[in-house]
A = this chain, B = another copy of it.
Amino acid sequence: MDIPILLDPRSRHPLQGQLYEQVRHLILGGRLKPGTSLASSRALATLLGVSRNTVMLAYERLAAEGYLQMREGIGTYVSFELPEDCLATERLTPACSDERPCVVSRRPIAFEGRAHGVVNDGQLTCDFWLGRPDPHSFPIRAWRRLVNRRLLGAGARLTEYGEPAGLIELRREIAERIGPARGIDADPEQIIVVGGCQEGLNLTARLLLREGAVVAIENPAYQGAANLYESYRARLVPVRVDDNGLRVADLPEDGVVLAYVTPSHQYPMGFTMPLERRLRLLDWARRLGAYVVEDDYDSDFRYRGAPFPALMGLDRHDSVIYMGSFSKSLGAGLRLGYLIVPRHLVGAARTAKTLLNNGHPWLEQAVLAEFLASGGYDNHLRRIRKSYAERRDCLLDSLRWYFGEIVVSGSECGTHIAWHLGASLPRATLMRSLAAERGVGLHDLPSSAACDFGGCTYSERTLLLGFSSLDERQIRGGIERVAAALDPAHGSLRGLTRPRHPRPTTYVAP
């Protein structure tokens, strides 16, 4: 048998696998024809310098799969049962390579989409990266205790499929504890547990959109939402935001299927939509028969006054789909969020979730349900809310100390602020690169998964600063390094000589 076989003992693939593959390809490629006798395992082992067992195992696998026949007393030969035309096909259509380009003519795939940035590369020593809880704040001891308790009695919960809409204990806790805190009176049936807000967005798209459907979206907006709706071939109509959030009066008066909004803390600008505009938005939805997707991604953190009721809490016409998330309050690594859907959409939403992925992993849901029920979640929220408020104050103080009067938005709520850069400061993109040179991450809109559709005045002169994952020392140090980085570019900074201001400047409309 004069066949080209070359085994590589340093490869991560076992020798028997290499031998199997090469013989198989020789057969499929027609180099080894049906009926051809192969060397005995002993002879081939000697020839190749491998153990006889290696050859035996490869031969046995090839025989089990029908490539070879092994007959006692006769020997091993290539199976006759491989039909000649199959082999010919294989010979005529060899694998693609540079020398032989692929002969498959294929339409372009249907999918067209862009991904938003998800993973932070973590190169910077002090990164005002957005929307991340402090890793040290994760209630790891309580979580481990609950994980162990739930695993102990897990049994079939790990092996069986659960309810696709989510674990009923968890949905009950969300309906009873979180709903009322947002002014939403929902049954557990209206809650669909999802793998974070992004999956929630997906379900809204699946439920409501067909190709060409018109989606009204904030400008600027969360990139993940814009990209998602675009990937479903929706036609996006960007509507500008001002310091009261989405300019409801600018919404088209017909044809819109859904409006995507972040009324608690507009992403990225941080504006809060006041009551009047909320009511106008709901009235608009009623007039058009449109749906409003309310992304309430970080409303757990409100530092001044009570939170406004969610749009869904104000809605009396079943127009709102509410999305909540535990990514900001606990952690994005859990991939836990929920939709609250109007009653008439419960069946469709459950079906869409079933078809999507048959539901969320059990353990995270079970542990979160118990964490909520035990009051552990409320305690956790109180603790981090306090700590985030201090960090926010520290950030605002530091900015004022080094930069004097500053204009910011979004500081009353959430885990990031938008810093509207005055005329005496460089543009956001330059600020960002100057800071990065000193190891400090400041983010302009494009680097914050924020999407500017054009015609929006914020992009050039807005920096977004997340404060939840840095401690106060890091925050002060980071802003100091930014100030130092700017010095050559910016001349002497007024702020460097200013006394520390006792109270932070909060929102002033740009």
Mark A residues whose CB is within 8 Å of B.
12-14, 17, 21, 24, 28, 60-61, 64-67, 81-83, 86, 89-90, 93-96, 102-107, 109-111, 113-116, 118-120, 132-138, 140, 143-144, 147-148, 151-152, 154-164, 176, 180, 183, 185, 194-196, 198-199, 202, 206-211, 213, 224, 227-228, 231, 257, 274-276, 279-280, 283, 286, 289, 305-306, 308-309, 314, 316-319, 327, 330-336, 345, 348, 350-352, 354-364, 469
Choose among A67, A160, A176 the residue with the greatest number of B CB atoms under 10 Å from its CB: A160
Cross-interface CB contact of A196 among B13, B275, B330, B357, cutoff 8 Å: B357
Cβ contacts under 8 Å, A319 to chain B:
104
Q: B93 and A305: CB pair below 8 A?
A: no
| 16 residue pairs from A and B, CB less than 8 Å apart | A13-B180, A17-B180, A65-B306, A83-B276, A86-B276, A95-B317, A107-B289, A109-B207, A111-B207, A113-B352, A115-B350, A138-B154, A140-B158, A147-B147, A198-B355, A198-B358
Give the contacting residue for A159; candidates B14, B134, B351; CB below 8 A: B134
B333, A207: Cβ atoms closer than 8 Å: no
A161 to B131, CA, bound (A): 10
In the complex, the answer to whether B348 meets A109 with C-beta atoms within 8 Å is yes
- Determine the chain B residues whose CB is within 8 A of the CB of A21 once the complex forms: 183, 185
Minimum distance in angstroms from A42 CB to a CB of chain B: 21
Given contacts A65-B275, A103-B286, A208-B111, contact A332 B318 (CB under 8 A): no
A316-B113 contact in complex given A161-B333, A362-B333, C-beta closer than 8 Å: no
- CA separation between A17 and B360, bound complex, in Å? 32
Given contacts A118-B163, A119-B162, 18 further A-B contacts (CB under 8 A): A65-B305, A86-B276, A93-B317, A104-B319, A110-B208, A110-B213, A111-B207, A113-B351, A113-B352, A115-B350, A116-B355, A118-B358, A119-B163, A132-B159, A135-B160, A140-B158, A224-B355, A231-B355
Contacts A159-B331, A283-B89, A350-B115 known; A227 to B134 CB distance under 8 Å? no
Task: Kindly state the separation between the CA atoms of A510 and B319 in the bound complex, as whole angstroms.
Answer: 54
**Closest CB of chain B to A28's CB: distance in Å?**
8
**B135–A144 contact, CB under 8 A?**
no
